Amino acid sequence: MTEPVVPMVKAEGVRKSFGAHRVLRGIDLEVAPGEVTCLIGRSGSGKTTFLRCINHLEKISGGRLSVDGELVGYRQRGDKVYELHDRDIARKRAEIGMVFQRFNLFPHMTALQNVVEAPVRVKKEPRASVVERAAALLERVGLGGRASFYPSQLSGGQQQRVAIARALAMQPKLLLFDEPTSALDPELVGEVLDVMRGLAADGMTMVVVTHEMGFAREVGDNLVFMDGGVIVESGAPREVLSNPTDERLRTFLSKVL
């Protein structure tokens, strides 16, 4: 018998509240290794909060959330669940790359230095080998000739590609994207999506919050529509986009397609 595949992400009844405000109201979702899951929905539906819960930037208020078979931010012993120490959380978080709307690059560092920083500081890797890997990653995202440029010398699309290279430098098992093209001018969106297409083709597991329906249709394995902190509809992207069954999804798509 073949071993069952362990989901890269598994959410079971995940809830999150900020005070009295309930943002996530019971999320059940599985993302298989090598799969691209796209999250869509209007602003305030809980997409970004769920993404931030996956790498424990936000603590969940209830339910269970695991990455590659291990609880996120917690350890279970018997029937009891204990929160991990900060250093253990940081070590696990290093296995999950995140690319934000805003590029969050260090302005006083070159593109190469931005990519090198985390593996050297967080994972204590030797600088020489990291520099070599970082240069190859910048080449991979089409910025081999921009390694010595500072963020202020790069376009928004180029900065976001540096941010993707920086996330990849940590050699993550999972990449999270929080609307990675929303801060870009329209003509720069394509260059970032092309890099993401390449990552998907290489088998990188990705969870992507996006409004780019063409990307979701073409690259996504699963499309998840969230509204009011719950998953309203999910399935194969082409099917969900072509034949939405929920009125809320039909209304949403009428505004974005």
Using one digit for the tens of pLDDT, what is the confidence trace for 166-185? 999 999 999 999 999 999 99
The answer to whether 219 and 197 have CB atoms below 8 angstroms apart is yes
| DSSP-assigned letters across all residues of 94-137 | TTEEEE-SS----TTS-HHHHHHHHHHHTS---HHHHHHHHHHH
Alpha-carbon distance 138 to 105, whole Å? 14
* CA atoms of 250 and 183, how far apart (whole Å): 25
Contact (CB, 8 A) for 173 and 91? no
Please count the other Cβ atoms lying within 10 Å of the Cβ belonging to residue 237: 23
| 78, amino acid identity | G
pLDDT band at 159; cut points 50, 70, 90: very high
Q: What is the pLDDT of residues 4-55, one digit of tens each?
A: 889 999 999 999 999 999 999 999 999 999 999 999 999 999 999 999 999 9
On the 0-12 / 13-18 / 19+ scale of CB atoms within 10 A, 202 is exposed
**Measured CA angle at 127 (ends 145, 200), to 5 deg:** 55
Phi, psi of 24, deg, nearest 5: -115, 130
Nearest to 67 by CA among 3, 10, 27, 28: 10
Residues 6+ apart with CB under 8 A from 48: 178, 179, 209
Report the share of the chain in percent with pLDDT over 70: 99
In the structure, what pLDDT confidence band is assigned to residue 89 with cuts at 50, 70 and 90? confident
Q: 146 or 1: whose pLDDT is higher? A: 146
Establish how many alpha carbons lie within 13 A of residue 179's alpha carbon, considering only the half-sphere containing its beta carbon. Answer: 14
Q: How far apart are CA 149 and CA 229, in angstroms?
A: 41
163 burial class (0-12, 13-18, 19+ CB within 10 angstroms)?
A: buried
Q: With 0-12 CB in 10 A as exposed, 13-18 as middle and 19+ as buried, what is 127?
A: exposed
Q: What is the CA radius of gyration of the chain?
A: 19
